[in-house]
Structure 1
Amino acid sequence: MASNLDEIRKAAERVAGSHGLDVVDIDLSGPAKERTLRVFLEKNEEGRRQLKAQIAAGAEGLPERLVEGRLTVEQLSGVTHEDCEAFSRDFGVLLDVEDLVPGGEYTLEASSPGLDRKLTRAEEFRRFAGCLVKVQTFEPIRNNRHWRGRLEAGSGRIITLDLAAMHQNSKSRKAGVEKVEIPLENVEKAELIPEI
């Protein structure tokens, strides 16, 4: 199944790129006759740059929180319903023509990764520096596997969380530290915490 997901991801990235989008994540789940293939998309770097230019120019029709600065372009994926529709149409045809989903029965869903999107790659941790995140580690750090804080600019393969930015659970408070460094290979799960 993993190799199929790799092939599906590569195909999704080709189609997304032709629409000015990036694939954030892919998930294929469910029993054989009710499988759902979810593709999470966002504007690519050029699309985000254009969105920033629209904000600077005072374009109308943009989300209020974005214009007011309560939400950054990086946090908002910028994907529209039209983007998802066009991607789904083209990607669905490609999936069927290349027979990439075994068994052929599936439901395709394309959407934004949401404000609480997952972070998995080093470049995502760099891109979202300054945002609130929650991180779960494989191995405990200071007897704790669950951390919440503001992501600081990473230095390669280690992320740093400013713990003073958020109320911590009792284990985190007992650790008695204001910052924690976590090697990326120890990150089991990480996601943004929406700031609205």
Structure 2
Amino acid sequence: MGREHIEDLVAKEVEKIIAGSDLELVDIEYVRERNWYLRVFIDKKGGVDLEDCQSVSEKLSKVLDEKDPIGDNYLLEVSSPGLDRVLKKEKDFIRYQGRTVDIHFFKPYDGTKLIVADLVEKNGDTLKVQYKDHLEELPMKEISQIRLHIDF
């Protein structure tokens, strides 16, 4: 079973588990580092706490043990997406309009592979940002990742 298929299957199970709660599924990652990791990122208004993560982890673990859809040994992690969360879904771009983001490019843009700009909107295959005192429209196909910016 392929990585994307596993992520889709797990996403469906997590959606069932959190249905009717104030939790939302942010992302699923099934990745091989030293070991295989199945990472589930959840969030809610005001942020998730340890009990939220533990509850989802226990329920999901039980479902995955029963269905046994993953042939490899893996470690299950359920957590918050963090303060510097990656923006992927359309609703992420709507929710965080006006916020400062870190935009990582596949190839240098304006001489660099990372710019910090204010998110205006995502419109299909284009990301509109306020960058260096003017509006820029960036093609999504040139962007490798968009994260919320953290100022320390």
TM-score interval (norm. to shorter): 0.7 to 0.9
Report the alpha carbon displacement of residue 15 of structure 1 after superposing the two structures with TM. Answer: 1.5
* Structure with more of its chain in strand, by fraction: 2
1:36 is matched with 37
Give the direction of change, closer, same or farther, for the CA distance of 1:137–1:31 in structure 2 (3 Å limit): closer
Q: Matches of residues 67-146 of structure 1 in structure 2 within 5 Å?
A: 78-103=47-72, 105-138=73-106, 145-146=113-114
Q: Is 1:189 aligned to 2:148, yes or no?
A: no
Q: Distance in 2 between matches of 1:13 and 1:147?
A: 34
Q: Distance in 1 between matches of 2:121 and 2:145?
A: 18
2:10 is matched with 8
Q: Distance in 2 between matches of 1:90 and 1:19?
A: 14
Unaligned runs of 5+ in 2: none
- TM-score, scaled to structure 2: 0.82
Larger Rg, first or second structure (1 or 2): 1
Unaligned runs of 5+ in 1: 49-72, 165-176
User: Which aligned segments of 4 or more residues in structure 1 are displaced greater than 6 angstroms?
Assistant: none
The amino acid that maps onto 2:28 is I
Contact map agreement 1:137 1:187 (CA 8 A) in 2: yes
Contact map agreement 2:31 2:37 (CA 8 A) in 1: yes
Report the alpha carbon displacement of residue 22 of structure 1 after superposing the two structures with TM. Answer: 1.4
Corresponding pairs, count: 150
Percent identity, aligned pairs only? 29
The CA deviation string for residues 65-117 of structure 1, in whole angstroms up to 9 with x for no partner, is xxxxxxxx5xxxx11111001101101001111112223x2221111000100
Contact map agreement 1:148 1:161 (CA 8 A) in 2: no
Q: Distance in 1 between matches of 2:54 and 2:105?
A: 36
Q: What's the Cα RMSD here?
A: 2.4
- TM-score, scaled to structure 1: 0.66
